[in-house]
Amino acid sequence: MGGGATLERYALTVRGLLLAHPTWLASHHAALAEHGLPLHDVDLGVVDVAAPVRASKIRPGLHVHAADPSHLELARSTSARAVPVAAACVLTATASGVEAAVVAMDAALHRRITTTERLTEALSLPGARFGIGLARAAITHADPLAESPGESRTRLILLGAGLVVRSQVTITDARGDIGRVDFLVGTDVVVEFDRLVKYDGADGKLALAREKAREDRLREAGFRVVRLTWADLRHPDRVVATVRRALAAGA
């Protein structure tokens, strides 16, 4: 996933092309940018567009695809300058792979701007013909419970290792609800993806104290807690090894 400034430059590039070509629609991951969905593991040096052309054309930095007629009609009747969300997700899968698509699909499903049914329907698009296996796999692995790209990527790493993973599980003890955790692996290993949280100031110190108390209760209830950061996700093998050690500790 690129930095914020890089992603902003890419979004501006997409907007500039669309302004210069009123009949074009953003497609693939360019459409994800237009829809405000997260971009991960995609080529930010390429802008895909759908246009009223008979055959696709590939130029350096620009891929022009023959647009589905229904998408062009949709663009005439709405303010959208991009193919529909489901189409954007599926086409991203065919071009950029499962992980890139799942990050976007998770966000789209979580925000309720598409459905699994619409994603499945988008598999019939002519542009999805090549790479349709990747798109099907992405739909299978998508999870509307994911609340961030970091959670999406963590889940894929754990599932890829063959681990049994449940998302957004509420944990209780004798005193009641401890809280909802990002993942429960097996029956007693909690995996949390740490977002960027600042603990400066009085409010930050209070939030940190609450988080520590929550984690203490989880441990007292017999759970082992693994916390992950963006840096950890760069080393999937280490993530899996850490979680497996936590599982073995309770065996």
Q: Where are the beta strands (DSSP E) in the chain?
A: 25-27, 47-51, 57-59, 62-66, 165-173, 176-185, 189-193, 224-228
The encoded tokens of residue 24 equal: 């074009």
Q: What is the pLDDT of residue 5?
A: 80
Residue 1: per-residue pLDDT: 59
The pLDDT of residue 205 is 59
How far is 140 from 156, CA to CA, in rounded Å? 11
Superfamily holding 150-249: VSR Endonuclease (3.40.960.10)
pLDDT value, residue 39: 97
- At residue 114, the pLDDT reads 97
Tens digit of each residue's pLDDT, the chain (251 residues): 566 788 999 999 999 999 999 899 999 999 999 999 999 999 999 999 999 998 899 999 999 999 988 888 776 666 679 999 999 999 999 999 999 999 999 999 999 999 999 999 999 999 999 999 999 999 999 999 999 999 999 999 999 999 999 999 999 988 988 999 999 999 999 999 986 555 555 555 566 678 888 898 999 999 999 999 999 999 999 999 999 999 999 76
Distance (Å, rounded) from C-alpha 145 to C-alpha 152?
Answer: 9
Q: Number of helices (H) and strands (E), helices first, in the chain? A: 11, 8
- Do residues 195 and 150 touch, judged by C-beta distance below 8 A? yes
User: Rounded to an integer, what distance in angstroms lies between the CA atom of residue 185 and that of residue 16?
Assistant: 45
**For the chain, first and last CA: distance in Å?**
36
Tokens found for residue 202: 């009085």
Q: Where are the domains of the chain?
A: 4-143, 150-249
- At 111, which amino acid appears? R
The Cα 249–Cα 25 span in angstroms is 53
Q: Tell me the torsion sign for CA atoms 51, 53, 54, 56.
A: negative
pLDDT, residue 210, reads 80
Kindly report the pTM of this predicted structure. Answer: 0.90
